[in-house]
Each structure stands twice: as structure tokens, then as C-alpha cells.
Amino acid sequence: MADQTSQNDNQNGSGLPGGGSSGTGRGRLIIWVIAGTLLALWAYSYWGMGPSGGERISYSEFRTQLSQENVERVEVEGNTINGTLKSQATRTEQGNSVEYENFVTYLPSFGDEQLMDLLETQGVNVMTKPESTFPWGLVIMGLLPVLLLFGVGYIFLRRMQSQGQGLFSVRQSKAELYDKDEEDTTFDDVAGADSAKEELREIIKFLKNPKRFEGLGGKVPKGVLLVGPPGTGKTLLARAVAGEANAPFFSVSGSDFMEMFVGVGASRVRDMFSEAKETSPAIIFIDELDSIGRKRGAGLGGGNDEREQTLNQLLSELDGFEENEGVIVMAATNRPDILDSALTRPGRFDRQITVDLPTKQSRHEILKIHARDKPMSDDVDLDEIARSTPGFSGADLENLLNEAALLAGRHGHDAIRYSDIEQARDKVMMGLKRDGLVLDDEEKRLLAYHEAGHAIVGAALPNADPVHKVTIVPRGKAMGVTQQLPEKDKYLYRLDYILDRLAVIMGGRAAEELIFDTATSGAENDLKQVRKMARKMVLDWGMGDQFKHISLGEDQGNVFLGDEIAKGREYSEVTAREVDEEIRRISEDAFQRAVDTLNEHHEAFDQLAEMLIQREEVPGKDVLKLMNGDADEIGHMPTTNGEVAAEENGSADEHTPDETEVTEEDESAEESRASGPSDAS
């Protein structure tokens, strides 16, 4: 659809062969004409209003030439005297001699009563002209800014026309109308989101056969709001509705209503609904609704009047005094928490459809759709990829296969191999390898023990996710990663699972203290994760010893500046100190469990650290062999090219990193996972 839109723009605008260049040429010609006119007026004001010509001489020199009877004729206009000599004279100016015959001079302010008698005595031909009283200077100086303003206005209008707007069309709706023949996306192109598709199919059925529902006394929802995280396919669902429905489909972004002119947003809303009513039944889709639907008057600075007027007009069109029959409004947003309550009430956006992150089965279906036009080798198992990518959105999965295709092309493969997909996961989740980063032996040993501490604790505790891969290859901001792959998607988190998870996170710091009797800055992200998770346990999940059956946390964070000032903390200072003590106790208990676990499995701990120093990357199955005492069964780890890996291997599986040192991206991912139980419950 985007390609189709760009083609239409090219046909209507400057994309026609010769059309754009012709318009640009005319524009440049007009600009040069205006510039030339301004220059001519300036030159006339500077030179043309003065003397008509001749060498400018002093009045004393004029009297000298007159006394020498060398003046033939003079023309007097006001105080200006233009004259001609009988023979050329020479004057010296800055050391240079200048010959002249015509001259210009000015009468002194005190006058010269003897001048006329002297001119008559010598027979000089005297001509007089009345002094002009028209204020040419003022006129020209007044025209200059007017012409400059016209030039700026012309340039502005040209820019508007190049963007498909005119002077009188700026208030018109920018919604694009799509017919069924123009949009080939259907629900078959949308994997997963079965409940959302069912709700939208109901709306399509109503548009096709409204009497079936009206006979039962039912009314179609006036507004449908698609809510979900970024990349989950909200806009794709709207495109599928455009392809499925036999009704005009208007698509517009929320930011398209806003312009630099006051009142344009509300006018565009009115114009959009007016067009939709003329072609009803019709569907209007507003993408990124939160750009115009934010709460009115929120925060310290109040609201934006222009945005609020646009929102008020939208509210009126959705459910105002006039009936809005035959027009269904769809909208998408990933920030429903900041929308105005009047926008989401019944009668406006009275049906909210949640488009959540895909499940394992949905991920498998999404991968099959994106793999349709890509050659895959026989070793690629899409079901295994779906299992190893919990938390991935549809956009993430599409990007994963695209990166794998690029890597396959870089390696010269005829088809995408499983190793290409594994390397793509490393690149997408952790960033590019930092090949220029060189660690000395001491730092490498410390990093190896740190990651080995995470892995051994994760492999030993019964409720922790299985260890999938351990690596000390620097990628992005991460110096090393211990990845754990859950056996299935989790929606509820048990207390014993969370406690084991905290111990795994503390495994790196515990390893530093046990082996080196020190602490490093590499555990910064670990400690932040423990603090955030322990705080949610106490405040939100009721998992603290002293706060077992109470939630002290807020429902949601403050999204507008100033909200935290109006809302105070809902518990006392004494309770706050007890909360801090509880968080500290949970953190210390997690650290002690990690220490005890490493002491219990010290042999496997040392072996894994040495293996990381040699290989830099160890798969989870080898970690399990070390835990079972089967170190002799561990062979050399092959690289993607089939050689023995003495350095970083990019062919291991990856899943959302559970442990990464000093990386904000993985810290955000961890915080999202930590909030899962709250959302699920």
C-alpha cells in the first residue's frame, strides 16, 4: 500500500517526466525576477535619485573654473548644479589625476548671492528645473519589504504544493481513501491474533449485511480501539480490514491533523468525517491515536489548545449532537494509559481489542508467513525458532528472518541456514560484535567466572529456566551473556521461580566474591534487576514476609509531568523503611543462595570458567554435562564453518538475554519480564 501511495503521489505531483523540472524552473525564474527587481530598485535608490551624471567636484573648484571663464553651461535643480566645461580640467584625488568635462556640485547651505551675477557676466548658459517633491526614496524603501514578503510567500506556497497542498487545501483532510482493489492484504496475511480478527470480522459482516443485526436490535460499535505493544500487528490488522471489507476505507495518522496553523486540526477532522459520510457505510482508521488523544489539561503546563480543539472535534464527530450513522472509526495505539477518558467511554471507542505479543503457536504461524518468499535449508526448524523466541513481536520475527537472509547472502549461502538465523538472533538481541575490544588475561578470567556463576546457579536450581548458552564474547554494550530459555511461555510466575531467578542473577556477584574476593562494576545491571524485581515482589505481588496480602504500589507510572506532585505516596515513612528492609533481605537471601550453590558445585564451576576462557562460548547442553560430572564427553565445539572454535562462535541459539552486564536494552527487557506476573494476574 505504501508503494501504491508513492506512485499516486508521483503521478499527481512533480514526479511526472518533466513536470517537476518545469515547475522548479518556473519557480527559479520568478525568484530571479524578484531578486533582479529588488536589486534594480536598490540601485536606483542609491544612484538614480542623485545627480544625473558628471564628475562630482567641490563648490570651491566650481568657483575656480567659473572665475577662469571655463564654464559653458549649468543646470540648476534645487541645490544641485550640473554643468559642462568649455575645455577639460584636471583635478587630483588621492594622488591620482582625474580629467573631467561634465561636473556635479551642490550649493552651500548658506547660499551664494553673487553666483547669478557672475554667471551672467561670463555668458554662461543657465537652465533651471523645479525640484521634485515626490518622495521616491520613501516609496522605494516601502516597496522593498513588500516584494520580499511576496517572495517568501511564493516560496512557501511552492513548498506546500510540492507536498500536495495548496493555500486553500491546508484545512482539508489528509486521509487517504483505499478501495478493495487497491489493498491486497487480508486476514490470511495476519497470523495469530485470532480473537482480534474475530471481532473485526463481525464489523465487516455488519457493513456487508446491516439488516441482519438491526433486526435483532443490535448496533455496530461506533469506534474500535486496537491496543497492544509496538510491532504486534495493529496497523496490519487495519490493512486487512481494508482488504476484506467492501466499503471505502479512509486511513490517516494522528499526526496528520496537526499543522502550524491554528484551527487546521479540527477542520481536517470535520472534512474527513464529511467525506466518510458521503460514501457511507465507510471505515476510518486513525493510526497512533495517542498523538491527538492525550488527556486534556494534564501535567504542570496544562494542555495544548490546538491539540485539544482537534480532540474536541473528534469527540463530537464520534458521538455528538448529530448522528454519525454508517461510519465506523478504528484506531490504534500502544499507549492507552494516556488517552483521554472521554475518548474511550462507551459510545465512542466502546470496543477495545487487545493485540498482545504472540504465543508460541502464533509465532510459528508468523514465521511461516515471513518465510514464504525466502529459501530455507533443510536444517531450519521454524517450530524450534518459535519456541526459542518468547517475547518476540511479529515485527521482531520479521526482522529476525530479514537479518538472517542478509547474513546468508554475506556468507554466500544459496538458502538461509539455521546458523544464519542463530547469528541473526545474536545481532538483533545483543548488537554487533565488538571485534576491536581486547581483554587482558585477568579481565577475561574474571568475566568467565562471572558468567560461569550465573550459568551454574541457573543449572543447579530446580525452578530456574534451563541454561541455553553462555558467552563472554562482547556484543553491543554487553561484555558477556548467560541466556536461559524457558520451556514454555509463562503467564503466571510462582514465588519459588522468582526466588530462583533472583539467585541466578546474583550468581555473577557471588562468583566474584568467592574466587577473587572482590566486586566489579560488571554486576551493575544484575543489581538493578534484583532491586526492581524485589521491589515488585514487596510492593505489587505481596511476596514479602511482612507484606504478604497487600499491594502498596501504584496502578501505573506517572506519564505526565506534575502527576507525582498531585499524588502522594499511599503509605507512611515507617512502612517505607520496612519496605526497604524487606527488599534488602530478599537481595541478601538471593546472594547467599548463589554462594551456597557455587560452593556445592565448585568443581563444575571451575571447569565451566576454564572452558569459557578457552572457547568464549559454551552451549547449555555442555553446562549440564559438567553438572552431571560428564566433562569427558564434551568435545570440541564446531563453528558455523565446521572448524574447531578457539574464539567466538556465532552459531548458538539465542533467546531474550536474561543476564547481560551494563546494557540498558537487556535491562529494559528484564524489567518487562519481571512485570509479567502482575499483568497476568
DSSP assignment string, 627-649 = HTT-GGG--PPB-TTSSB-SS--
Which residue type sits at 576? A
pLDDT of res. 629? 82
Which residue type sits at 478? A
The helix (H) or strand (E) run that includes residue 83 is: strand 80-93
pLDDT of res. 211? 77
pLDDT of res. 350? 80
User: Residue 512: pLDDT above 90?
Assistant: yes
pLDDT of res. 409? 92
pLDDT higher for 217 or 162?
A: 217
| Coil, strand or helix at 535 | helix
pLDDT of res. 62? 86
Pairing of the two strands 71-77 and 55-56: unpaired
User: Model confidence over 274-296: pLDDT tens digits?
Assistant: 888 888 778 888 888 888 888 87
Closest by alpha carbon to 473, among 515, 512, 429, 509?
429
Asked whether 483 and 654 are in contact (CB, 8 A), the reply is yes
Percent residues over pLDDT 90 in the chain: 22
pLDDT of res. 403? 92
Cα–Cα distance for residue pair 170/61, rounded to 1 Å: 66
pLDDT of res. 293? 83
Peptide bond into 390 cis (omega under 30): no
Asked whether 245 and 204 are in contact (CB, 8 A), the reply is yes
Q: Write down all domains in the chain, each with its CATH number in brackets.
A: 2-46+137-162 (no CATH), 55-133 (3.30.720.210), 176-354 (3.40.50.300), 360-430 (1.10.8.60), 441-680 (1.20.58.760)
Helix axes 441-460, 573-600, angle to 10 degrees: 100
Residue 471: strand pairing partners:
481, 617
pLDDT of res. 586? 95
User: Residue 611: pLDDT above 90?
Assistant: yes
Closest by alpha carbon to 527, among 500, 553, 509?
509
User: Residue 387: pLDDT above 80?
Assistant: yes
pLDDT of res. 375? 92
Q: What phi and psi values does residue 640 have, to the nearest 5 degrees?
A: -65, -20
Which residue type sits at 35? A
Strand positions, DSSP E, 306-430? 327-333, 351-354
Give first-to-last CA distance, the chain, whole Å.
39
Tell me the H-state helices in 431-479: 441-460
pLDDT band, very low/low/confident/very high, at 51 (cuts 50, 70, 90): very low
pLDDT of res. 326? 74
Eight-class DSSP state of 611: H
Residue 56: strand pairing partners:
104
- Calculate the CA dihedral of residues 605, 449, 655, 651 and round it to 10 degrees: -90
Inter-CA distances, 490 with 218, 484, 487, 643, 670, Å: 38, 13, 9, 37, 14
pLDDT of res. 635? 59
| Coil, strand or helix at 554 | coil
* Average pLDDT of span 360-387: 90
User: Residue 167: pLDDT above 60?
Assistant: no
The helix (H) or strand (E) run that includes residue 101 is: strand 96-106
User: Residue 91: pLDDT above 60?
Assistant: yes
pLDDT of res. 44? 56
Catalytic: 451? yes
pLDDT of res. 96? 80
Q: Exactly one of 183, 451, 512, 667 is catalytic; which is it?
A: 451
- Calculate the CA dihedral of residues 64, 69, 75, 78 and round it to 10 degrees: 40
User: Residue 247: pLDDT above 70?
Assistant: yes
Cα three-residue angle 321-322-323, rounded to 5 degrees: 120
Cell 542478509 belongs to 406
Average model confidence (pLDDT) for the chain? 77
Cα–Cα distance for residue pair 194/187, rounded to 1 Å: 10
User: Residue 664: pLDDT above 50?
Assistant: no
* Average pLDDT of span 303-332: 78
pLDDT higher for 47 or 642?
A: 47
The helix (H) or strand (E) run that includes residue 294 is: none
Asked whether 471 and 616 are in contact (CB, 8 A), the reply is yes
Q: What phi and psi values does residue 152 have, to the nearest 5 degrees?
A: -65, -40
Cα–Cα distance for residue pair 170/641, rounded to 1 Å: 59
Least confident range of 50-64, 176-190, 218-232, 667-681: 667-681
pLDDT higher for 651 or 455?
A: 455
pLDDT of res. 658? 38
Q: Is 626 exposed, middle or buried (0-12, 13-18, 19+ CB in 10 A)?
A: buried
Q: What phi and psi values does residue 421 have, to the nearest 5 degrees?
A: -65, -40
Cα–Cα distance for residue pair 163/151, rounded to 1 Å: 19
pLDDT of res. 593? 96
* Best mean pLDDT range from 114-118, 163-167, 544-548, 629-633: 544-548
Inter-CA distances, 56 with 52, 72, 146, Å: 11, 17, 34
| Coil, strand or helix at 564 | helix
Closest by alpha carbon to 628, among 646, 650, 603, 593?
603
Least confident range of 157-171, 174-188, 248-262, 468-482: 157-171
Asked whether 241 and 330 are in contact (CB, 8 A), the reply is yes
Pairing of the two strands 467-471 and 176-178: unpaired
pLDDT of res. 673? 35
User: Residue 382: pLDDT above 70?
Assistant: yes
pLDDT of res. 449? 95
